[in-house]
Amino acid sequence: MMWNNTCKSVNKDFTHIFLPTVYVAVFTLGLIGNCFGLKSVYDNWRKIGNVNIFVLNLCLADILYLFTLPFLMAYYAYKSEWIFGDVFCKIVRFCFFINLYSSIGFLTCISVYRYLGIVHPLRVKGRITTRHSVMIVFLVWIWVFLQCLPDMFFVKTSSNKATCFDTTSNQYLKDYLKYSIGRAVVGFWIPLLIMLCCYGHVAFTLMAKKDTDVILKLRCLRLVVILTLLFSICFIPYHIFRNINLVTRISKLEGTCQRWYSNAYIANQVGNGLACMNSAINPLVYLFNSDELLMKCFIKCGRTRQSAAVSLAEESPI
């Protein structure tokens, strides 16, 4: 087998610095944000609506993953020496995928509910109950579990049990690449397409209706901004760079290498860190999902503008 001299050895020092730093930040911010989210749900339990049911489960998925981060911090900080065993390695990696794809699933549900409530309010009024939302949540969990379950059957540790792969060992890379692409299509790209269609139609409807409540417009706007932030920063780079890196690993095993392969590895690690950040950004969905908070902002801004107008009038000559 011929080996291309242009192939560079991968420098993993970047991973040992970048990922532990990201994990510490995400664990701290995510734990604080999700605790506030749980408190908000608890304080408004009697007023909980269909969308808030998805928000609650989004919060629970984040907390489940956050509790695995200390083990990953230790793993990457100590030069990738996994000391917690093969079974726990699979559990930790499984929790990451459950969090990732359940987040995408619940965000998609929120988008569809917003779409139905704005574009087809008369058709769905009174027809979608809390029971329906609970059933949908159950189906999302089952669907995500089935998507991620095959990952548990791939080898996750090296022969000496010191490495905990976020993919699998070289022996099973080709099969894992097929699974990874399929999961990305079903678990990410299709939901992304659904959300783009929903919010595109919502934006068109809000622009066409001049009598639409300004609060409703801003509620949709802030959700669009948050979801755009989540998908642009956390999800899209992860799904692109992850599969590119798998292709480069397979290519190396087959004796072909390009100069940019080492950069693909770095990009993949950046994508892993960004995907992890969704647990810290998700709280924005429920912390800014309250209309009371928005009304406070309106009142404060209105008072500020009123005070400025009064001051300007006093300073103007008669």
How buried is residue 310: exposed, middle or buried, by Cβ count under 10 Å (0-12/13-18/19+)? exposed
CB 56 within 8 A of CB 48: yes
State which of 9-13, 20-24, 109-113, 159-163 shows the largest mean pLDDT.
Answer: 20-24
- What's the whole-number average pLDDT of the chain? 82
Query: How far is CA 180 from each of CA 151, 174, 271, 313, rounded to the nearest angstrom?
Result: 9, 10, 15, 64
**Per-domain residue ranges for the chain?**
13-305
pLDDT in tens, 77-114: 877 688 898 999 999 999 999 999 999 999 899 888 88
Please report the pLDDT score of residue 7 as a whole number.
63
At 88 the pLDDT is 93
Return the CATH architecture of domain 13-305. Up-down Bundle (1.20)
Distance CA 147, CA 35 (A): 28
Q: If residue 239 lies in a helix (H) or strand (E), which one and from where to where? A: helix 236-253
Q: List Cα–Cα distances, 241 to 10, 42, 96, 250, in angstroms.
A: 16, 39, 17, 14
